[in-house]
Structures are given as structure tokens and as C-alpha cells.
Amino acid sequence: MPIQNDSMDFGYSLGVLHHIPDTGSALRCCVKKLKIGAPFLVYLYYRFDNRPFWFKTIWRLSDCVRKVISRMPHFLRSWVAQILTVAIYWPLARLSLLGEKCGLGVGNWPLSSYRDRSLYSMRTDSLDRFGTRLEKRFTREEIGRMMEQSGLNQIRFAEKGPAFWCAIGRRVS
């Protein structure tokens, strides 16, 4: 990384490090760029450690689909992601919105975090989710340990979705 070590007042990685083969090493490289005491904000895909079994099962099925789509040529990958957005993301998100308006708890409904998002957001996230070959997921504990091993302390996690697991820590050394 062409940034001098110990030079940055703030750092962040939102939605990138979980696509890198050695996430811990990449995080350590990022943290070295920070001045002592500087904060680093990270968002990593989570392993659904706070979700019910059925939710994890649906994700496993979608991951099988992702593994096929991510190997397609880019134009085809993009096209399929658009179809998934219109056929799955948008209807489930709007169903969650309707459920919420009816007073139902929709926190565990698939794609409920998109209930107040634009179609554009759904399109970009669909391509990110299904178009990437390498996707690693972590538990809250694994992320905390990785952050500590990278030289961060005072680690705080977002306690509610959709940004599981979004965390911030400060560089100690």
C-alpha cells in the first residue's frame, strides 16, 4: 500500500477485507498506516451467529448460487444480479416493509434490511454478493480477535443491523 506507516489520522475498510484471502494480514497492513490512537472502522461479512438456523440454511443455499454466478463472465454476472434484484431482493424487501407497517417484527426476515433502501442499493449489493468469487464470513469473536491481533483496542461493535459486524477500534502500537 503506497501510504506511509504511522501517517493516517483515520482508516476504514467497508466491505472489502472479506474478499481478500488473508483477511487478518490485510487488516494488520491497514492498521500499520494509522497513527497511534487513530481509529479504524471495519465492516466484515458476518457468519450469522445471531440468526436462527433456518436463516443460515437459506444463506447456504444462496451461497451455492453465488458460487455458480461468480464464475460467469462479468456482463452475464451483472445481468443475473439485476434479475435477482428484481425477482428476489425487491419483492422480499417490500414484503418486509409491509410486514413492518403491519406491526410485525421483521428483523429476521430475509433481506429485511433493504426494506427502506432504493432499488439501486439492492442492485449494487446483489452484484457484490453474487458476483464475487471469494467471500469470507466471520463471527463477532473472530473479528474482535483479528482486530486485537492487528494492534487495535477499545473495540466497539454495532449492536443492531444491518451492519453486522461493523466495528471500530483504536491503534495502540
Residue 77 and residue 122 in one domain? yes
**In this structure, are 103 and 83 located in the same domain?**
yes
Q: Do 137 and 46 form a contact (C-beta atoms < 8 A)?
A: yes
As a whole number, the mean pLDDT across the chain is 93
Identify the domain containing residue 121 by its residue range: 73-130
**What per-residue confidence (pLDDT) applies to 161?**
66
77 located within any domain: yes
Contact 6, 38 (CB under 8 A): no
pLDDT tens for 76-135 read 999 999 999 999 999 999 999 999 999 999 988 999 999 999 999 999 999 999 999 999
Q: Within a domain: residue 4? A: no
Judgement on whether residues 118 and 142 belong to the same structural domain of the protein: no
161 is a domain residue: yes
Residues 119 and 160 in one domain: no
Q: What is the pTM of this model?
A: 0.82
> Residue 153: CA atoms inside 13 Å, Cβ hemisphere, count?
4
Task: Answer yes or no: do 126 and 77 share one domain.
Answer: yes
